[in-house]
Structure 1
Amino acid sequence: MPHAPRRRALMLVNPRARRGSEALDSVVARLEAGGLEVRLERFDTPEEVSADIVRRRDEADLVIVCGGDGTINSAARGVLATGLPMGIIPMGTANDLARTLGIPPELDAAADIILAGQTKRIDLGEVNGHPFFNVASIGLGADLASGLTAETKKRWGQVGYALAALKVVFSARPFRAMIIDGSGRRRVRTYQIAVGNGRHYGGGTVIEASATIDDGHLDLYSLEMDNVWTLALMLSAFRRGEHGAWAEVRTARSTEFEIRTTRPRAVNTDGDIVTETPARFVIRPDAITVFAPLAAASTG
């Protein structure tokens, strides 16, 4: 009996990710022992990732992305264009998409999920045509993304996030915006507007308690407190996704939002600044196939 052909995996590695310098020999050996033919490539800029996926679409049966949320975001266009299923080896600082999908931080364990072959379809958010898996934000989150360098993330990890966040909060000022969706228009004075597609962001914070990455809609919140330090009292609610219970937090759910501001403001997607307001957010349901544990595949 002839052997079935080995599935071909294009494995893309971000050497600048927090754990990007770790040896992947054992992961590659594990994948190849499990029946994959692995082609490993390292890249220098995010722009290379999707272009490489598209260029090699006929040479691969699946894509494996090794890096953090920013790296995975860079692969979104290529995976969307080719329809190739995507595996994740989490090597970043926050790894929020991996957390949402139930993929463990241990590299060999993440490789085993790819080998198990269980997949699920997930949604993809877009803002002004730029994709995001986890969250897009205007205000505090964008200010944090602007001030958090790759070197800080690689050297300090979650501690670096905390220190940078404190710096942002100290200098935070509210801004005025208009939120537009199917239910109407609302003028707000806010410190942040965030629009979530997945479940986790910011190192494990929950976008909304009932949110999943395959529910076909976006979840918005707006921080409309008088004093930004009130945010400290809300932290545990944010970790659970229950911040909508606070009067200072406006929440909304829709398949499309538009945010307008009095002057252009930066928009952060999955940790990187990619565009500015006015910003139109839309959902692409069931856009991408990912490898995920059975529990994630059945529950979202």
Structure 2
Amino acid sequence: MAAAVAFASRSAKFHGHKARLGSCAGVEATRPVPKEAVLVVNAHSRRGEALFQEAKAKLEAAGIRLIAAHPIKDPSQLDITVREAVLAGAPMVIVGGGDGSLSSTVDDLVGRDCVFALLPLGTANSFARTLGIPLTLDGAIETIATGTRRRIDLGIINGDYFANCAAMGLSPMIGEGIPHKLKRTLGRVGYFLWAMWCFVRFRPFRLTVHDGKEKRTLWATEVRIANGRYHGGVELIEDADVESGEIVVQAVTGRSSLRLAWDWFAKYFKLPHRQAVTEEFHGQRIEIDTKPRQKISIDGEVLAKTPAVAEIAHRAIEVVVPRG
């Protein structure tokens, strides 16, 4: 019952926010970025605890008046704190953390007159890369202080909004099982070492995709459900765009895990034939199923399973991005 209520609430928020857009579409580009904000930092993230005080001081020095500043050590309280700030009327919420932290908080900004700004303090920082936000603390703060507003799409998996990219296959195995100390200490190197351990135990699966026009069934080793181009800090889904009004489902096809390794390698180094082992599906609503059932990581956090429905929430929130 609780899950049904939560889904209904998200669905109402998704359809309800369109009515508000009629009065502000075309206007947000001329409105300035707010100079008042609530800062919420995931102090459990890799760099969050160490950089909270520094971020607070530098934001204020850059001319951002902080209504409140919260270092969150319990990740389950992150979205609650953001929700309270939005409901209290904060003109802007600045969230510091990794992709999972950012994705878990975007739901509460859909349909609200509140700007979302981010400090990329995680490991991969795929959402920041997609938006062109500098990955350094100073660069991200400069973006907040001097940047511009941009209205972007969000993805939706089974009614849950997400910011950048969801995945099934090897990615959930890595995200769910990676030791926190390894991730926190070694960062992307830790991810790579754990990925190699998961790789030898991974098995391909049967994927069925229905994009509203046709249904396809094929073997796959990984599937990315993308609103943005980056996944794991690597530009893997080049056709995805946060303003396109479409969700992209990209499958690494075949039964050989070596094809998956080649795909990551080729796209990391941007080789000429880097799209050779993938197939893409585009649409506003795409149904996905697998045999056997697969877990789905949403911006790095394992939060769903197949079967799943992937949708797009067009122009759902406003974010702060660099000018030009």
CA distance in 2, matches of 1:200, 1:158: 14
- Post-superposition offset of 1:191: 1.3
Task: Trace 1:158-173 onto structure 2 (pairs within 5 A).
Answer: 158-173=188-203
Which runs of 5 or more structure 2 residues have no equivalent in the other structure? 1-33
Percent identical residues: 32
> CA offsets per residue over residues 161-216 of structure 1, 9 Å max, x none?
111111121111111121111221111221122111011111123312x3322111
Which runs of 5 or more structure 1 residues have no equivalent in the other structure? 1-5, 296-300
- Conserved 8 A contact 2:296-2:305: yes
Is residue 8 from structure 1 mapped to residue 36 from structure 2 by the alignment?
A: yes
Task: Trace 1:1-300 onto structure 2 (pairs within 5 A).
Answer: 7-38=35-66, 39-57=68-86, 58-80=88-110, 82-208=112-238, 210-239=239-268, 240=270, 245-246=275-276, 248-295=277-324
- Conserved 8 A contact 2:151-2:315: yes
RMSD: 2.0
- Post-superposition offset of 1:243: 6.7
Relative to structure 1, the CA distance from residue 262 to residue 236 in structure 2 (aligned partners, 3 Å threshold; closer, same or farther) is closer
- Post-superposition offset of 1:27: 2.8
- Conserved 8 A contact 2:52-2:71: no
The 3-state SS of whatever aligns with 1:56 is: helix
User: Which residue does the alignment assign to 1:298?
Assistant: none
Please give the TM-score of this superposition, normalised by the length of structure 2.
0.82
CA distance in 1, matches of 2:108, 2:75: 12
- Conserved 8 A contact 1:69-1:96: yes
Letter in 1 for 2:91: D
- Conserved 8 A contact 2:91-2:113: no
The 3-state SS of whatever aligns with 2:203 is: coil
Deviates further, 237-246 or 81-90: 237-246
- Conserved 8 A contact 1:12-1:43: yes
> CA offsets per residue over residues 51-102 of structure 1, 9 Å max, x none?
2222233252100001110110121112225331011111110111111111
Letter in 2 for 1:10: V
The 3-state SS of whatever aligns with 1:164 is: helix
Please give the TM-score of this superposition, normalised by the length of structure 1.
0.89
Relative to structure 1, the CA distance from residue 242 to residue 12 in structure 2 (aligned partners, 3 Å threshold; closer, same or farther) is farther
Deviates further, 195-204 or 226-235: 226-235
Deviates further, 283-292 or 184-193: 184-193
- Post-superposition offset of 1:14: 0.7
Deviates further, 51-60 or 172-181: 51-60
Relative to structure 1, the CA distance from residue 228 to residue 20 in structure 2 (aligned partners, 3 Å threshold; closer, same or farther) is same
> CA offsets per residue over residues 122-166 of structure 1, 9 Å max, x none?
110010112221211121112221222332211110111111111
- Conserved 8 A contact 1:217-1:254: yes
CA distance in 2, matches of 1:261, 1:116: 45
> CA offsets per residue over residues 251-299 of structure 1, 9 Å max, x none?
221111111123432111000010111100000011111110013xxxx
- Conserved 8 A contact 2:169-2:223: yes
- Conserved 8 A contact 1:66-1:88: yes
CA distance in 2, matches of 1:116, 1:219: 31
Deviates further, 221-230 or 59-68: 221-230
CA distance in 1, matches of 2:226, 2:271: 11
User: Which residue does the alignment assign to 2:7?
Assistant: none
- Conserved 8 A contact 1:50-1:74: yes
